[in-house]
Amino acid sequence: MDTILVTGGAGFIGYHLSKRLLKDGYNVVGYDNMNDYYDPKLKEDRVRDLEESGQDYRFIKGDLADKDMVFHLFEEIKPAIVVNLAAQAGVRYSIDHPDSYIQSNIVGFFNILEACRHYPVKHLLFASSSSIYGNQEKVPFSVNDPTDRPISLYAATKKSDELMAYTYSHLYRIPATGLRFFTVYGPFGRPDMAYFKFANKIFNGETIQVYNNGDMLRDFTYVDDIVEGISHMLNHPPKLNEEHDPFKVYNIGNNHPVRLMKFIEILEDAIGRKAEKEYLPMQMGDVYQTYADIDDLEKDFGFHPSTTLEEGLAAFAKWYKNYYHKE
């Protein structure tokens, strides 16, 4: 089977995708710098689980911003497919820590593109974000909508990644697929995400902060649905578009936005406890709503996310209680 390189391999989506790829018989190499943006123990435990799977998995610690190391990696493992999930995530964090976003999301992704240029791959898939749609009122968000008004540096770096990937696809015929993820959640998730923070505070008897007084809508997407969508795309690089370039962008979302207060109610039911709430105004860089138009995903791959919020949050709560020994 082909070797697949998963950057951000110790991350939330990277871990779940790697598990699926190993199950499907691929040789998987994970690459991650293991930074401390959130608790590195979660990343270490994800990698340990993958290494103990008994499958053909290898993990390499390294930084995408180190071009020499990235080129050495490609020379050594010769990946047939690259799934670039490595990035500095988080909208609010980008307000106060802009440098890390430029290094990881711009410089790091540039190095991946250069490596794919010099060590050709069958397919490059890369993570983008629903954040690039900004605060537009038109819903659902379509891949054909304008995305030139990002309201956070994080979103701006993701838009930049799409532009750079398109250019490399055009110039060097690199088959590239961009993945605009919509609020991904699930077991072994990211502690900086709202649902994870809520769970921490609910179990600790602390008050949760609810922004924009709870008047926000999110297209919450369960991680297994994200992985299923990616698995459909792996061996199907994009067909030539109208400019004759092998490039395509897809939304991957649940296509069913939910109000934040409803989300909190479902999480409380899954955990079995109610939360004390503090209502706060909208935070800088946040958007009011996300809502994915997934027509292209359905048309090209016959795929539609199927996990309900009740099912997904129940699975998260079960994992959380087991991982943190909570009752």
The token duo for 187 is 């077991």
Q: Please say whether the dihedral angle defined by the alpha carbons of residues 52, 54, 55 and 59, taken in this order, is positive or negative.
A: positive
Residue 165 amino acid letter: A
Measured CA to CA, the distance from residue 106 to residue 164 in angstroms comes to 9
Measured CA to CA, the distance from residue 90 to residue 270 in angstroms comes to 25
Residue 283: how many other CB atoms lie within 10 Å: 12
Half-sphere exposure (CA, 13 Å, Cβ side) for 253?
Answer: 30
Which one, of 232, 124, 241, 126, lies nearest residue 175 by Cα? Answer: 124
Q: What's the gap between Cα 18 and its chain centre? A: 13
CA angle 100, 164, 229 (to 5 degrees): 85
Catalytic site residue 154? yes
Q: Which of 26, 133, 154, 222 is catalytic?
A: 154
CA angle 20, 26, 27 (to 5 degrees): 115
Give the orientation angle of helix 309-323 with respect to helix 194-203, to 10 degrees: 50
Residue numbers annotated as active site: 154
